[in-house]
Structure 1
């Protein structure tokens, strides 16, 4: 019997486990993860804002994070609302600089820090059913074909946009758009020589969406195009040729790619804004993207997971101490945060008026009126 079982070993799941252990090291916590302990899958989300430092300090993993030597980011550049390139430098931030991450390394770092605190992991394991008794949850899971029965006093859904556990509970997702990202990773080392390209994050709009690019550790560059799913299909952006033709129409983004640079296959990623109708229930809550997910233009996905994991841990401990009011407080915080995000997102998209008659931008102007 575990006190808490967390489904998903991403940032939100690991941060919640660490936050719980920081408050009560005697808690028996397990994390169930579909992937392997190596975690070699390339996840999208490489940018950390400066204020993330405060969250790492709260979790007690700040020094360990710095030891990873991720690439410092001193600002972001954008071509949004005009043809001029605008740079927002972090020099004005009280928290200093941000970071561009190697996500595989960062995700393994979070898992390692969680394991150090005595959290048990079930890798390559998926849950198929969840049954609530009067005293605990009974989870039926499978590691390949091996059946496992895992019991817990409390369950945390940290399974990302799929919200796997809450889906089993019949909780609905409210989706505000159909945004997707088509991504490609470039290696900027040619003939064993690293080519110098302007570092940092850049976003650049066009009639059907916007480009995102960021320099990463180990001489990598990621480029993605954000648009709605139907537009991506119409433009056939999973095709190498179609993606490159569109990329070549960009003013600034294409210039970041060194000649003859090798690159990965195109990767399609769901990026819609969504939230759950309920983020808490009897002896469970959702955290991270499982609870609510934001448009990548916010660059706040990882940061939000770090912040909300702290609030989630308070609510869980309250519940385990027979104080269920903590769950209601947590749900209110998630709802308020999402409401504030929607307001900011609407204002930001409204700044781009050059393409307001195009379908992608028109849809976001309609959101402004509703």
Structure 2
């Protein structure tokens, strides 16, 4: 097998992995691996490598050219349009991180839309309005996720990282102080002292290494992207509780409206709500949603489902893993969407990992700095859980219903609050 040596290997070219590659690529030989084949709009060249790579500065890196989608109007590399991306918002506090990544100007010019007010009908009483302009960090943005992800990948490549997509399966091992990724399909081995799992909720590398992952909540997000409507000028994020879950809806930069409902994986209504008419009918019963949803749709819209509950890797097991391994973004800690912090955490954990890796480069004890990273992530998890508990302690009007009672019981460590009502 051919062997290539790197300073860092990052698996997963989503926001967390690309952000870290952007921070490390200027001074290190960084390999960014993506299992999926990234596709290109408008025939634009993706400055990466398909299936093979070498860190040699003298080698020519052949660009990948992928046929454009029919009718494509964007020239940016993007995920398949048949797989809508969830994670549409970024808080104003992310501005500092974007500056550190050298991305703020590009981000502000990319067409992401400033967030409007949030309208929430959570507890009893009338809906509550919150104006994000009062947030000291600013209102934040609704993201064009495809463009955001593509811009981060391009920034990583511009910083010097080598992006390899369409990798297929890989196998990770550690020996003699070096991490190794073996790709049987191309008979190649990539080696580095640093290996980063940025594969999202799948946590593919961590699971392969046998690191336990605790899933706290089997929450499912059913979501649909409704086509643009000329009459829809609402710029609010709308959130509300229901008897067996909670909703949110927002209009994203494309003009489409996201409608999402979060419920238990074993909910008897789950199957029926995979039908858009049923999902819309249930949503229209909520006062904060009824006015912004279309009465009828002339096109077929798919309702997608994905896991959305809290999950985290075992920090004790992580600490015992060989030096140089990191898990960032959703791979390390997956947030419940009600926190609206998933995208921010992707960037923040990438920045934290970059600082630790840089400290190791200047001679600081690798185990010591990684312990500091894990302690920081543990503190983030603890703070998040406290806030999540406060959110799910309500709403009082649905207190007797199973969805809410189960979450109160889980937080209190008892089953006494579980009710049988549905």
User: Is the aligned partner of 1:80 residue 2:122?
Assistant: yes
Give deviations 1:64-96, integer Å, cap 9, x for gaps: 100102111133211111241111111111222
Report the counterpart of residue 272 of structure 2 in structure 1. 236
Partner-residue secondary structure (3-state), 2:280 = helix
User: Is the aligned partner of 1:45 residue 2:49?
Assistant: no
Report the counterpart of residue 58 of structure 1 in structure 2. 100
Q: Pick the structure with greater CA Rg.
A: 2
Match of 1:17 among 14, 21, 24: 21
Larger mean Cα displacement after TM superposition, 38-47 or 179-188 = 38-47
More strand by share: 1
Check conservation: 2:117, 2:235, Cα contact below 8 A.
Answer: no
Match of 1:201 among 216, 237, 241: 237
User: Is the aligned partner of 1:226 residue 2:258?
Assistant: no
User: Is the aligned partner of 1:292 residue 2:328?
Assistant: no
Report the counterpart of residue 90 of structure 1 in structure 2. 132
Check conservation: 2:183, 2:189, Cα contact below 8 A.
Answer: yes
User: Is the aligned partner of 1:365 residue 2:411?
Assistant: no
Report the counterpart of residue 49 of structure 2 in structure 1. none
Match of 1:117 among 137, 142, 159: 159
Report the CA distance shift for 1:234/1:308 in structure 2 as closer, same or farther (over 3 A): closer
Partner-residue secondary structure (3-state), 1:78 = strand
Check conservation: 2:283, 2:289, Cα contact below 8 A.
Answer: yes
Check conservation: 1:184, 1:264, Cα contact below 8 A.
Answer: yes
TM-score by length of 1: 0.93
Find the aligned partners of 1:196 and 1:228 in 2 and give their Cα distance: 30
Report the counterpart of residue 266 of structure 1 in structure 2. 303
Match of 2:313 among 266, 273, 276: 276
Report the counterpart of residue 30 of structure 2 in structure 1. 29
Report the counterpart of residue 194 of structure 2 in structure 1. 154
Partner-residue secondary structure (3-state), 2:405 = helix
Structure 1 residue 265, shift from structure 2 partner: 0.2
Larger mean Cα displacement after TM superposition, 125-134 or 287-296 = 125-134
Where in structure 2 are there 5+ consecutive unaligned residues? 40-78, 414-422
Structure 1 residue 115, shift from structure 2 partner: 1.1
Check conservation: 1:78, 1:202, Cα contact below 8 A.
Answer: yes
Report the CA distance shift for 1:121/1:186 in structure 2 as closer, same or farther (over 3 A): same
Report the counterpart of residue 168 of structure 1 in structure 2. 208
Report the counterpart of residue 354 of structure 2 in structure 1. 313
Report the counterpart of residue 69 of structure 2 in structure 1. none
Structure 1 residue 232, shift from structure 2 partner: 5.9
Find the aligned partners of 1:147 and 1:100 in 2 and give their Cα distance: 42
Check conservation: 1:356, 1:365, Cα contact below 8 A.
Answer: no
User: Is the aligned partner of 1:215 residue 2:251?
Assistant: yes
Check conservation: 1:160, 1:288, Cα contact below 8 A.
Answer: yes
Larger mean Cα displacement after TM superposition, 325-334 or 108-117 = 108-117
Partner-residue secondary structure (3-state), 1:151 = strand
Structure 1 residue 160, shift from structure 2 partner: 0.5
Find the aligned partners of 1:220 and 1:263 in 2 and give their Cα distance: 14
Check conservation: 2:247, 2:262, Cα contact below 8 A.
Answer: yes
